[in-house]
Structure 1
């Protein structure tokens, strides 16, 4: 599932592609929204909240989408004549006379009044991709289950929105915290969220996605995806194990030397 840095970049791209021009194509291929045609409306921008995308329209409605595991938004030049885009994986088509945005394999879609979009997000913690996320709320949410493994808690979007397996691994490695340490045993809770926010925003704002600041192939992470390869700090082979409760387990990469039990 894409992480917060990816979603912020997608939101910015959709905003640029759809800005200032009316939609000449506004198809929602979603069972509950099949009767809605957005043609003629204008996008007033797309924002991300954690892993959610909110495309706001000038009629006072918001198109909410979530990529889940396999979804993507592709942006391409608008073709003349228009592409039929008949593939069953196409879930949404938003196009101006210049650019067309195609939502493929989207995992969630809603069309709500913009003033009511908060109802779609009320289950989420503070957005770590915000300019100034409310870390106090994130820390308070984290403390509601002190016996929970810190890695599992960081992945919980109701604690704080935006962290996935990459920034779980990279954040905990930087602080030398084992993913299975209970929340009660972690003193630097606020610092963890501050680090995750900083790493994800740097990645979203940079020229290419990277958790390390280095965009070279093979150097974009310190631990995530590097099972069996040497820790960049101590050279101990990186390990990976599932974290969380079935069926929601996710892979957690860590260094057994830098992040001991």
Structure 2
């Protein structure tokens, strides 16, 4: 699932293409909203909230979420799409730009007053102007016996982290992802590292946590099963972790640098 920085960049791209412009086309290819047509209305703003996107048009808010396969792409009018047309869930066009949402996990048209129903459950947004580290720390502390690796992906704790950052933050703090949150050490430091790591990457197309942008060098543990730890040389291990089988994700860790601390 895309990280919050991917969604933040998508919001920037959509803002540049659509904001303050009048829609000439609004084609929502979701049965429930097939009759919705916002063409002729101006796009007032585009905002990201964690991993959610909100495109505000008049009295409506177009709420989308990329989930696993979703992507927004921007084209010039008449330009050939880079993904199959049958994957398009929504098409928004102005006189000079065409924004296409492909394979979106969520596409819904809300009234502006309904936005809180879609995003009100989220914790502080790591990339938002209203970021509140104190609330994020308290939310993390409330996770208590929940494994830190699960708590970091819980968007109700703080919004924006995905699996890459979850794994990298645990490594950088020397914490096994399955360690209960109340045994994970300095929670303020974990939240601060989360904020700094995602913000330093938000404008990059290639995510880097090591400081080395060369291919194969960008991460400490993520995607590196069986390869030597960059700190101690021990082979990186892979496992799965999640509150249930449907939401399990792969975890990567160094068994030496990240010893498991049981509850």
Contact 1:239 1:256 in 2 (8 A): yes
Which residue matches 2:30?
30
Q: Which structure 1 residue ranges, 5 or more long, are not aligned?
A: none
In structure 2, distance between residues paired with 1:247 and 1:254: 21
1:37-83 deviation digits (Å, cap 9, x = unpaired): 111122223211111011112x1321110011111111111118x98
**For residues 86 and 207 of structure 1, what CA distance do their matches in structure 2 show?**
23
Residue 229 of structure 1: aligned partner: 227
8 A Cα contact 1:22 1:39, kept in partner? yes
Alpha-carbon distance in structure 2 between the residues aligned to 1:147 and 1:207: 35
Asked whether 1:67 is paired with 2:66, we answer yes
- Once residues 8 and 20 of structure 1 are traced to their aligned partners in structure 2, the CA distance between those partners, rounded to angstroms, is 19
What is the Cα deviation at residue 181 of structure 1?
0.8
Provide, for residues 106-138 of structure 1, a one-character-per-residue CA deviation record: whole Å limited to 9, x for no partner: 111222222431221122211112245212222
Residue 152 of structure 2 corresponds to 154
Contact 1:148/1:183 (8 A) holds in 2: yes
Rounded to whole Å, the distance in 2 between the matches of 1:192 and 1:27 is: 43
Post-superposition CA distance 1:3-46 (Å, at most 9, x none): 01111011100100113321111111112211101111222232
Q: Decide whether aligned partners of structure 1 residues 131 and 195 sit closer, same or farther in structure 2, where only a CA change above 3 A counts.
A: farther
- State the distance in 1 between where 2:187 and 2:220 align: 21
CA root-mean-square deviation: 1.9
2:19/2:46 contact within 8 Å kept? no
Tell me how far apart the structure 1 counterparts of residues 230 and 77 of structure 2 sit (CA, whole Å).
45
- Which of 62-71 and 188-197 deviates more? 188-197
Q: Which runs of 4+ in 1 moved over 6 A?
A: none
- TM-score, structure 2 length as denominator? 0.91
TM-score, normalisation: structure 1: 0.92
Unaligned runs of 5+ in 2: none
Gap change, CA 1:212 and 1:101, over 3 Å in 2: farther
Return the offset for 1:207: 5.9
- Is the Cα–Cα contact under 8 Å of residues 199 and 212 in structure 1 kept in the other structure? no
Equivalences, count: 258
- What does 1:175-254 correspond to in 2, within 5 Å? 175-206=173-204, 208-244=206-242, 245-254=244-253
Aligned counterparts, 1:47-62, within 5 A? 47-57=47-57, 59-62=58-61
Partner of 2:105: 107
Q: Using a 3 Å threshold, how does the CA distance of structure 1 residues 86 and 183 change in structure 2: closer, same or farther?
A: closer
Q: Is 2:106 aligned against 1:90? A: no
